[in-house]
Amino acid sequence: MTHALDYSGKTVLVIGGTSGIGNGIAQGFNRAGATVHVTGTRSSKDDYADSDLDELTFHRLDVAERDSVASLDLPEQLDVVVLCQGIVRYGREEFDRAGWDAVMDVNLNSLMDCARAVRPKLAEAGGSLIVVSSVGAFHAMVGTPAYGASKAGAVHLVTSLAAAWAGKGIRVNGIAPGLVETKMTAVTFDNDKRREGALQTIPAGRFGTPDDMAGAAMFLASPLADYMHGQTLRVDGGMTL
């Protein structure tokens, strides 16, 4: 009997899988036996010396370039797709139109672009689409309004796509990570006072890791979650309780 979290023979695509949470999710599926493809904005795998991509197949993709999403060379088989792209603009840049549009294009508009592109292959496989958002979807983001609004939009998109595509055999769910140390969260983790203050808000007493998010993604894509549609799991150590 095959274990529910054995992904041998499965093909997984992680958009934004070259670093941080996306890479952690990609590595989790790889360890579970899947053939894993990842995308990143740099020219080649060699440009990611700071990431572990050795056993992953790399595709260059900048989701802000909308035409490039539609022309992405997808694997022949596609069982799981994880959308983990995301940017943020600090220094109140998101209050200006240029900053707002840049964040919305990557964090929300590109989700639909990618979902549209992978839908046929996921329908063929009876596959799973997982959207990575943020707990920032559920509370005010004072300095980064576009980030918060885009993540809230991503949570709602999960529900809409789940309802629209369940009849096609596609399960759509999401993950809302709490605080995980990545390049995007350096503004918190590089400041001792902010880091300690943030830790005090987490009942679990620790920050999240990319492996924590990988576990949630592997569960959502597995037969264990076969009756789950349109749910976004808050994987945050109790931060939003």
Domain ranges (residues) in the chain: 11-234
Query: Residue 173 pairs with which residues in a beta bridge?
Result: 130
Among residues 7, 48, 90, 147, the one annotated as catalytic is 147
Predicted local distance difference test score (pLDDT) of residue 27? 97
Predicted local distance difference test score (pLDDT) of residue 49? 82
Predicted local distance difference test score (pLDDT) of residue 66? 87
Strand (E) or helix (H) holding 13: strand 11-15
Q: Is 147 a catalytic residue?
A: yes
Block means of pLDDT (10 residues each) for the chain, length 241 residues? Answer: 88 97 97 98 89 93 93 95 97 98 98 98 98 97 97 98 98 98 90 94 97 98 98 98 94
> What's the one-letter identity of residue 194?
R
β-sheet with 11-15: strand ranges across: 57-60, 35-40, 11-15, 80-83, 128-132, 171-177, 232-235
d(CA 80, CA 7): 10
Predicted local distance difference test score (pLDDT) of residue 78? 98
Q: What region does 202 belong to: left with phi over 0, alpha with psi -120 to 50, or beta?
A: beta
Give the pairing type, strands 232-235 and 171-177.
Answer: parallel
> Could you tell me which of 130, 13, 138 has the C-alpha nearest to residue 76?
13
d(CA 117, CA 106): 15
CATH number of 11-234: 3.40.50.720
Give the pairing type, strands 57-60 and 80-83.
Answer: unpaired
CA 223 centroid distance within chain: 20
d(CA 133, CA 113): 16
